[in-house]
Structure 1
Amino acid sequence: PSAGPGAPRVFAPVRRRGPGPLWGALGVGGVALAAAMVLSVAIPAFPGSGVAGRPSSALLFGNGVSPMINLGEDLRRPTARPVLHYRTTATRAPYLRLLTLDEFSGRDWSSRLFPSNSANTVDKIALPPGLLDSVAVTETRTNIVVDGLSARWLPIPAPARSITGLAGAWYWNGSNGSITSPNDTTRGQEYTVIALNLAPTRDQLRGSGSDYPSSVQRSLRLPADSPPRIAETARQVTAGTDTAYDAALALQTYLRGEEFSYDTEAPAKAGFDGGGVDVVSTFLEVKTGYCVHFSSAMAVMARSIGIPARIAVGYQPGTLSASSSIAGTGRYSVDSHDLHAWPELYFAGVGWVPFEPTPGRGALPEYTRTMDAAQTPGGQGGTAGSARPGITDDPAATDPGARGGSADTRQEPVTVLRLILVLVGVIALLLLPAIGRVERRRQRRRRILAGRAGAAEAWQELTDLAVDHGIPVRATETPREFAARLRSLPGLAPPGERPGEPSGEPQ
């Protein structure tokens, strides 16, 4: 039977004239979900940075936890995440130093913390201590963009002479060469570093004496109860050497020898992770570990035979993208798997000199390379070439963290794939409410047409349909009042009640 003229009707769907509340909510939710997913992909976790990337109040690598152990935990993360990218005028892609561990308790390495000196602004940084004019020096310019690192230690090629473009207050430390900020972080920073590339000759290093300043003599300290294996091994390895330089070279060659292998997992599984004297003693027996163990072993053995030593922590040079050269300078991408530790030994007249004892990571500095050494160019010692900087001749054999190839075949496709997956995920999330609504509407209409649904369900479908089309449903309205308001909307009045149309009833 036909309903009376004033009875409410269920109308067929009409074209939406604009976004309603449902679509607005979906849009806002979609943007929030997309932002969260993109941030989770793009921003890497970093030791000591906390969930929100907040740097610790003391050392970068944790609140009272050994920075060496935290470095290992980060290297063992299965997925590498971008940290920064840079361009440099240096012919050898530089290591980027974050901090220097110059205090050794016997159990842990740490960094001496000094109050910030407001006079030590980064626009003019003093020459490194102990450097004589006779050492060959070239100036380099490196432009760095931080992609996903929040810390109060600034990654820089060292030694730096000036830094421009930083936001906030940053100061240099004359003792260990680090750049720190009391209140600001590296997050989102873009800056330019003018640094020095030191090129001491072998003769200059061999001619270095043992007259160390008092500040350097602190870097000779070792616990009295150090395991005897450390000093005994150092003496055996350096037997027959006449100078501190030759002894240091012998230590580096020994640790890079075939007896040792690179492995990030073995020390943690066997319970000898870290850089303390007991760990070093075990490492010299087991002969497997990663950069933490190789750098600690060389530094501790160097101290045991009277050579001041400390450990630098930072990043290897990263990966060169062959397709991104601008004016002859390529772009290097650094990720969390490029984290690295290497020892620095002190030579009077030259200062702190880096070495590379870790096999399969980094490259030998030029002043430690023999004429017949066949090392892949790049890193601290080689010239930048088409091969990945920081990787030696056969890294894949022992180094699970070493990745060959350029950023074009490793970083960029992975990044694009991640973005595609994020986009697909966001679209799927946005479609879920709509799919649910369509299915609910189909089920309701089927029940209504079959006579199995009552007036309440039919009314719920009508109000849901109105909300979908941006028509508010007021809780205070009766069904008759709501139907009358629908009829008053342009395009929604039933035939015969639209303005300018005949009623269709007999005159």
Structure 2
Amino acid sequence: MPSAEPSSRRAADLLLTAGVFAALIAALLPLMRVVRPTGWLLGTLVIVAAVLATGYVARRFRLPAVAVSLIEVLVWAAFVTAVFFRDTAFLLVIPTVETFREIPDVLSAAGEEIALGVAPLAPSGPLALLIVGATGLLAVVIDHVVLTARMPLLAGVGLIAVSLIPAIAVPAEIDVVAFALLAAAILFLIRTDTRMREEPATTEATRATGVSATAVGIGAIAVVVALVATPLLPQPTIRPGSGELGPGPGIDATLQLGDDLRRPREVEVLRMRSDAPTPPYLRATTLTEFTGAVWEPDSGRSYPLDSAEALTALPVDPEIEVAEYSTTVEIRNLNSTWLPVSYPATVIDGLDGVWGAFPYNRTVEARQGGTQGQDYEVTSSVPRPTLEQIRARSAGGEGVRADTLGLPADLPPIVGELAAEVTAGAASDYDALLALQSWFRGTDFRYSLDAPVEEGFDGSGAEAVAQFLEVREGYCIHYASAFALMARTLDMPSRIVVGYLPGTSTGDAVEFQTVYSVMSGQLHAWPEIYFDGVGWIPFEPTNGLGQPTRFSPETSAPGETADGADAAPEASAPADVPDAVDPDTGEPLTPDAGTAAPDAEVDALPTVAVVFAVLVVLGIPLLVRDLRRRQQVSGARAGDAAAAWAVVQDTAIDLGIPSPVSESPRALGSRLVGEAGAPSEAMGVLIGAIERASYAPGGRHGFGQGEAMATAASEVRAGLLAAAPPARRILAQLVPRSLIIRPGSLYAGAGRGASRPAG
């Protein structure tokens, strides 16, 4: 049988246990932005509840702290074994040698899923095990710190650190709900533990004077810091190392761009303007070697940017026209070693730091420094062949590297088969590529950032490309990879470029050049094909983005194709892209021509949402105060005189009437009757009850007067509110001061200079 224990101690332990449960769940809420809430969420709730319940029961038997924690660990181990390792366990819950041999492989698989996955992750069994198991162990630790060591503040620090991990992994806006719940839970733990340490007071109303006000003040300061100060801090940036970057304002050159394209938060990475007929794409790096799993960034010798070997003239046939354009780029929030430049760059001015250029692909990389804060101008010399000239040339020729035609041995047959089928009957290599481009941009394909994940594939491996060609839903990586591989099956040299779309017009102009804003979500990949005597020609197969690459015939008007359609004025960059793309449908969201931004239809939903949120926030104190008053009246009805008297004290504090600790209940009651409009008869009932509770031996509870006390408390409150000026009455109900100022505290005794507040 458990040892006898005061009921107050049991109640406090139960409250602390509930608070620990709430705090743990609140700390894990941000994780749902990174990992989709599936079965792991239920498992987490169950294991935390089981561990904490075990600890609570064990403490009722007055077991040593070590024994309590050991029992909790046994419960944790049994739960994890039964859920994740039951096939190798003895009696489903007892791990065996085979179970322990299996654990490293499972944890390794979970780590690989975290390293290579894309947020939000669809968790597999290993990742679910990692989350559930780690949370269960965290519950054991926090339970010991709070209920055994009695250090809730230390536990709060640990919980806050846990809650920050998802935000560090995937930068996003502050999760206000999760933060508020975690802050409330931690303050509740501190408050409950503080009350347990205090000496019992005569009445509930005067217990723990000032503690609630201090706790709420700390919480208010934390909310202000989180919501106001934090957004003003610099955004985290990821500095590139080996080319493998996580989420953030950077560039992943391994062509696993899901992290970048599905960032939860859009940031402006750069602004640019150009005198080109259409804003050019900005390349960062190129990828040629395909391993069968990923496209590897090109490597080679770089030359100092100011050297003669860095950006030499392109080997273009003399009859091909070359146009020169200037593009100005201002980096706003991009931390990368690769410099976004228009192609093919011949001169770059205005850079700070030490930079090197790769003549082969016209990319520029930092040798010392980075892109953040750079403001520079790129001069590009763009080949502009006519339709007849490009059709007369074959894809390939001298000067291309062998790896531009390389294909993996296990390339799925569907890639080559579809390439041959789509290009059957093409009169030239260029016509074959146009057929491929039109096929990808046709109605059979759909642009989607989510479909690849939902279908269970991502990245740009050969198998992923094959599945993309079957599902026919994906984003730029899949389109570019499929196009480049299909071109190689037709013996055409290809590579992939990683860079940025031209962005969205800001409506501003500098030197008659439109300024474009490029967001992090406009990181893009597109294929290029090499043509003898012309160079690398880009194509845009991604459905819903930009315009297809086309060349004008020599006999047509400038900027017009043989069929009269608008042509991309420069072949070195895919044509202009829409201002926005619907991530669900892939369709361009370009506003109607001639429609000015101020005349666009205004979406009232954000305004309504803000107004609703403000009303909800304003209504929280009223709701909390009402719930508290109902509890007090319920306690009074049960015979608790202190609860009934607390109704009077809280109402006085709400109205700004002083309630100092030095004033007896009879003196305060007389003053409220004489000066604040309280009914004398009801006040007499409450004064008599609180005096009996305070001075009669063991007389805290009223003797059969519960209903009378509850009625009297409600009447006194109603009388005080009715006698107060309307403005003060409304303010008392909307902003109840009693939520942060306790009766008998220093603040409760500091009134506004009069018992009856002035209107």
TM-score w.r.t. structure 2 length?
A: 0.46
Instruction: Verify the 8 A CA contact 2:283 2:343 in the aligned structure 1.
Output: yes
- State the distance in 1 between where 2:321 and 2:490 align: 28
Would the alpha carbon gap of residues 440 and 72 (structure 1) be closer, same or farther in structure 2, given more than 3 Å must change? farther
Could you tell me whether the CA contact under 8 Å between 1:317 and 1:379 is conserved in 2? no
**Would you say the 8 A contact 2:483–2:541 is kept in 1?**
yes
Which of the pair is proportionally richer in helix? 2
Question: Higher strand fraction: Structure 1 or Structure 2?
Answer: 1
Is the aligned partner of 1:36 residue 2:230?
Answer: yes
Letter in 2 for 1:104: F
1:293 pairs with 467, 478, 484, which one?
478
Aligned residue among 304, 328, 345 for 2:489: 304
Aligned to 2:137: none
Once the 2 structures are TM-superposed, how far is the Cα of residue 243 of structure 1 from its aligned partner? 2.4
Equivalent in the alignment of 2:562: 371
Range with greater deviation from structure 2 (76-85 or 347-356)? 76-85
Residue 79 of structure 1 and its aligned partner are, at CA, apart by 4.3
Structure 1 residues 400 and 285, CA, compared in 2 at 3 Å: closer, same or farther? closer
1:295, distance to aligned residue in structure 2 (A): 0.8
Greater shift in the superposed pair: 175-184 or 348-357: 175-184
Task: Give the aligned residue type for 1:269.
Answer: E
Deviations 1:208-242 (A, max 9, x none): 24663354332000012211111111111111223
Post-superposition offset of 1:109: 0.6
Q: Deviations over 1:278-299 (max 9, x none)?
A: 1111111111111111111110
> Which residue is 2:384 aligned to?
199
Unaligned regions of 5+ residues in structure 1, if any?
A: 1-25, 44-51, 429-438, 465-507
Give the superposition deviation at 1:366: 3.4
How far apart are residue 106 of structure 1 and its match?
A: 1.3
- Picking from 578, 584, 597, the partner of 1:391 is 578
Aligned twin of 2:296: 110
Task: Give the match's secondary structure for 1:57.
Answer: coil
Distance in 2 between residues matched to 1:125 and 1:77, nearest whole Å? 35
User: What is the aligned partner in structure 1 of residue 262 from structure 2?
Assistant: 76
Q: Deviations over 1:296-322 (max 9, x none)?
A: 111000011100000111111111133
The answer (yes or no) to whether the contact 1:123–1:164 under 8 Å persists in 2 is no
Q: Secondary structure at the match of 1:182?
A: strand
Compute the displacement of 1:100 (Å). 0.8
Q: Report which of the two structures shows the higher radius of gyration computed on alpha carbons.
A: 2
Question: Is 1:233 paired with 2:436?
Answer: no
User: Residue 339 of structure 2 aligns to a residue in which SS?
Assistant: coil
Residues 68 and 292, structure 1, Cα contact 8 Å, conserved in 2: no
> Which residue number in structure 1 is paired with residue 284 of structure 2?
98
- The Cα of 1:381 is off from its aligned counterpart by 8.7
1:457-496 map, 5 Å: none
In structure 2, the CA distance between the partners of 1:154 and 1:381, relative to structure 1 (3 Å rule), is closer
User: Structure 1 vs Structure 2: percent identity of aligned residues?
Assistant: 34
Q: Deviations over 1:97-120 (max 9, x none)?
A: 111111211110121233543x34
Match of 1:435 in 2: none
How big is the shift at 1:206?
A: 2.0
For the residues of structure 1 that align with 2:596 and 2:587, how far apart are their CA atoms?
15
1:282 is the counterpart of 2:467: yes
Instruction: Please say if residues 121 and 172 of structure 1, whose CA atoms lie closer than 8 Å, have aligned partners that are also in contact.
Output: no
CA change 1:409–1:188 in 2 (3 A) is farther
Query: What's 1:485 paired with?
Result: none
Of 172, 181, 190, the residue aligned with 2:357 is: 172
Which structure ranks higher in relative contact order (CA pairs < 8 Å, sequence separation ≥ 6)?
Answer: 1
Task: Sort the Cα spacing of 1:60 and 1:365 in 2 relative to 1 into closer, same or farther, 3 A.
Answer: farther
User: Does 2:324 correspond to 1:139?
Assistant: yes
1:408-447 → structure 2 map (5 Å cutoff)? 446-447=659-660
- Summarize the Cα distance change of 1:239–1:170 in structure 2 as closer, same or farther, 3 Å threshold: same
Q: Indicate whether 1:89 and 2:275 are aligned.
A: yes
Please state how far the C-alpha of 1:178 moved relative to its aligned partner: 1.2
CA contact (8 A) 1:308 1:346 kept: yes
Q: 1:382 to 1:96 in 2, by over 3 A?
A: closer
Give me the whole-angstrom Cα distance separating, in 1, the residues matched to 2:254 and 2:493: 20
Q: CA deviation at 1:61?
A: 4.6
Alpha-carbon shift at residue 370 of structure 1 (Å): 5.0
Aligned to 2:712: none
Match of 1:161 in 2: 346
Runs of 5+ consecutive residues of structure 2 not aligned to the other structure: 1-219, 553-559, 618-651, 666-742, 751-759
Q: 1:374 deviation in Å?
A: 5.2
SS of the counterpart of 1:157?
coil
Kept in 2, the 8 Å contact 1:128–1:177? The answer is no
| Matching residue within 243, 255, 260 for 1:59 | 243
CA RMSD of aligned residues (A): 4.5
Query: 2:524 & 2:315 partners in 1: Cα distance?
Result: 25
- Shift in alpha-carbon separation, 1:144–1:39, aligned structure 2, 3 A: farther
* Equivalent residues of 1:68, 1:274 under 8 A apart: no
* Residue 451 to residue 296, structure 1, CA distance change in 2 (3 Å): same
Q: Which amino acid in structure 1 is aligned with residue 270 of structure 2?
A: L
Alignment length (residue pairs): 407
TM-aligned CA distance change 1:90 to 1:101, over 3 Å: same
Contact in 2 for aligned 1:220/1:306 (Cα 8 Å):
yes
Aligned residue for 2:338, secondary structure, equals coil
Q: How far apart in 2 are the matches of 1:92 and 1:148? A: 24
Alignment-mate amino acid for residue 241 of structure 1: A
Match of 1:349 among 517, 530, 533: 533
Instruction: Assess if the C-alpha contact under 8 Å between 2:448 and 2:583 holds in 1.
Output: no
- Measure, in 2, the Cα distance between the counterparts of 1:165 and 1:181: 14
CA distance in 2, matches of 1:397, 1:198: 33
Separation (CA, whole Å) in 1 of partners of 2:361 and 2:460: 19
CA apart distance, 1:154: 0.7
Q: Is the 8 A contact 1:122 1:171 kept in 2?
A: no
Task: Give the match for residue 197 of structure 2.
Answer: none
SS of 2:335's partner is coil
